[in-house]
Amino acid sequence: MRHVFVAGSINMDVVATAERHPRIGETVAGEAVLYFPGGKGANQAVASAKLGVPTTLVGRLGTDAFGKELRAFLVAQGVDLSCVKTTSGTHSGTAIITLANADNTIVVVPGANGLVSARDVASPDFVRGDVAVSQFEIPLPAIAAFFRRARAVGATTILNPAPAKQADKALLDLVDILVMNETELGYLTGTELRDSDTPERFSEAARTLGQGRIVCVTLGKRGVLALVDNQPLLVPGREVKAVDTTGAGDCFVGALASQLAIGKPLGDALAYANAAASICVQRMGAAPSMPTAQEVEDALSPRRPGEGRDP
**Residues within the annotated binding site for K(+)?**
244, 246, 280, 283, 285, 289
- Mark whether 250 is an active-site residue: yes
The DSSP 8-state label assigned to residue 301 in this structure reads S
* H-state helical runs in 95-166: 140-152
- 169 vs 171: CA distance, rounded Å: 5
- 251 vs 192: CA distance, rounded Å: 26
| SS3 (DSSP) at 229 | coil
The DSSP 8-state label assigned to residue 198 in this structure reads -
- 114 vs 61: CA distance, rounded Å: 10
Q: Which run of H or of E encompasses 134?
A: strand 131-135
* Annotated active-site residue in 103, 250, 268, 310: 250
Strand 11-18 and strand 156-160: the pairing is: unpaired
DSSP string, 56-115: EEEEEEESSHHHHHHHHHHHHTT-EEEEEEEETTSPPEEEEEEEETTEEEEEEE-GGGGG
* Type of residue numbered 105: T
Residues with catalytic annotation?
250
